[in-house]
Amino acid sequence: MYHCDIILIIYAKELTIVLATFIIVSFIISIIDIKKEIIPDAIVLPAIIILAAAKFFEGTLQISDFVAIAILVVLFALPIFFNMAFGGGDLRFGAFAALFVGLEGLGFFILYSGLIHLVVLSLLKKKSFAFAPSMSLAALLAYITVNYAKGVLF
């Protein structure tokens, strides 16, 4: 995750408040999730509001961002419903990431999250591990993918 953050900061034409907010919050939440296996509501819920406000003030908040959150919540609720190793904190952090990437980046985010997490689990030889770091990196990669396609990055 550290290398990707540096690449984004170097190559983004401008470091927006939205991008900075996501990087800072995702870094903090990832560290907490790795160490304590919990994603605190006291951080992620205000972060969703702050990110929405930042997108609003930058003029990038769209109705489709809320559609992305709704789609993600439905998809991420399924593992919780079937008692898989997935918690409500993952769902709320996923909503934060969905707000960041928007509807156009949601598919990439979901795909990258799963692939990155499978690689992490394989490398660590574990059946379960914190999901926030995988989602953080996946959201940043989805952001790069969508913005590179638009010509905003590089």
The encoded tokens of residue 80 equal 């919780």
- The residues that bridge with 153 in the sheet, in sequence order, are 12
Q: Could you read off the pLDDT of 116-146 as tens digits, one per residue?
A: 999 999 999 999 999 999 999 999 999 999 9
Q: Quote the CA–CA distance of 142 and 111 in Å, as a whole number.
A: 9
Q: Quote the CA–CA distance of 132 and 129 in Å, as a whole number.
A: 9
Give the pLDDT band of residue 153 (cuts 50, 70, 90). Answer: low
Instruction: Compute the mean pLDDT over every residue in the chain, rounded to the nearest whole number.
Output: 89
Q: Could you read off the pLDDT of 44-62 as tens digits, one per residue?
A: 999 999 999 999 999 999 9
- For 50-59, the CB contacts below 8 A with 24+ separation are 50/21, 50/25, 51/18, 51/21, 51/22, 51/25, 51/96, 51/99, 51/100, 52/99, 54/16, 54/17, 54/18, 54/21, 55/18, 55/99, 57/17, 58/16, 58/17, 58/18
Q: Quote the CA–CA distance of 123 and 128 in Å, as a whole number.
A: 12
pLDDT given for residue 101 in this prediction = 97
* Residue 11 clears pLDDT 60, i.e. is over it: no
Give the pLDDT band of residue 14 (cuts 50, 70, 90). Answer: low
The encoded tokens of residue 119 equal 């690689």
Give the pLDDT band of residue 1 (cuts 50, 70, 90). Answer: very low
* Residue 38 clears pLDDT 60, i.e. is over it: yes
Give the pLDDT band of residue 10 (cuts 50, 70, 90). Answer: very low
Q: pTM for the whole thing?
A: 0.88
Give the pLDDT band of residue 154 (cuts 50, 70, 90). Answer: low
